[in-house]
Amino acid sequence: MTAMSERQREERLASAFVDLTAPLVRDVSVTDVLRTLTEHCVDLLDVSAAGVLLDVPHGQGVQVVASDEYTHALELFGLECDEGPCRDCCRSPANISETRLDVEDACPRWPRFTPRALLLGFTSVATVPLRCQDTVVGALSLLHDRTRPLDDSRLRLAQALADIVTVCVMQRQVVHEQMTQIAQLQGSLDSRIVIEQAKGYLSNSRGCSADQAFVRMRTYARNRQLKLSDVARQVLNGTVAATLLDPER
């Protein structure tokens, strides 16, 4: 390898790390990050194609991304058939493994996936787990048409790239869950404030206690299958105040 090619490889490697850590510093979709991972794998690891299956617990569902449309269709087919290297890798916290597809024992293992892969010219596939501690949240597949397996340095690099993406994806998941909880808490707080304001308004304007005002609003909401907070807002804007004056309703 010449000095120039070595320098180019270092530049491409640095570019890959910058691209794959983008979700840590700016808003980048998980799909875009996974696609970037597959593209860098093809560029850096000298493989024909790459695909990713991501299945984060409590996430946005299973995602399938690949470096090209044909590999994407292959990975989707494996998902639909519930077989293939990515599905196997996701089921078990295994380390990197590589499988020849053009040998007899491959078809019994993946009877529908393997023929499809061979038609696309892939004769071997290496799978790299996307792991978060002891939990496998996805798998990276590296497909190529060589008879020799990928060397250890490429496989280690593949695992490093997969680990970076896993950290970024899980970080986004944590942030998303935190933001969801904050929004829910804020919504509950806003509703409670509105209800308390409506109770005070009814209590002062109709000469009843705060508890009696609350019972009237709650009864009205239940009878009409409305949210209590919505009824409270209607009380404050005068929409149902007259109706709530009658404790028999």
CATH number of the domain at 35, please. Answer: 3.30.450.40
Asked if 128 and 202 sit in the same domain, the reply is: no
| Domain-embedded: residue 181 | no
The predicted structure's pLDDT at residue 59: 55
Alpha-carbon gap, residue 109 to 74, rounded angstroms: 16
Neighbours of 202 (CB within 10 A): 24
150 and 230 together in one domain: no
List the chain residues with pLDDT less than 70.
1-4, 24-25, 56-61, 93-94, 106-107, 172-184, 241-249
pLDDT at 245: 55
The verdict on 106 and 145 lying in the same domain is: yes
175-183 long-range contacts, CB within 8 A, separation 24+: 177/58
Buried b (16+ CB within 10 A) or exposed e, 178-195: eeeeeeeeeeeeebeebb
State which residues form the domain around 232. 189-244
CB 40, CB 16: distance < 8 Å: yes
Question: What is the predicted pLDDT for the residue at 1?
Answer: 41
Q: Which of the listed residues 143, 173, 203 is the one where a domain comes to its end?
A: 173
The rounded radius of gyration (Å) of the Cα atoms in the chain is: 28
| 51-90 b/e (C-beta count within 10 Å ≥ 16 → b) | bbbbbbeebeeebbbbbbeebbebbebbbeeebbbbbbbb
Residues 200 and 206: their CA atoms lie apart, in Å, by: 10
At 161 the pLDDT is 92
Among 115, 143, 173, residue at a domain's last position: 173
Collapsing DSSP to helix, strand or coil, 60 comes out as: coil
Residues 139 and 96 in one domain: yes
Number of domains in the chain: 2
**CA-CA distance, 188 to 181, in Å (whole number)?**
11
What pLDDT is stored for residue 50 in this prediction?
96
Instruction: Provide the token pair at 168.
Output: 């970024």
CA 35 – CA 120 distance, rounded (Å):
20
Position 194 in a domain: yes
**Predicted pLDDT at 183:** 65
Quote the CA–CA distance of 123 and 147 in Å, as a whole number: 7
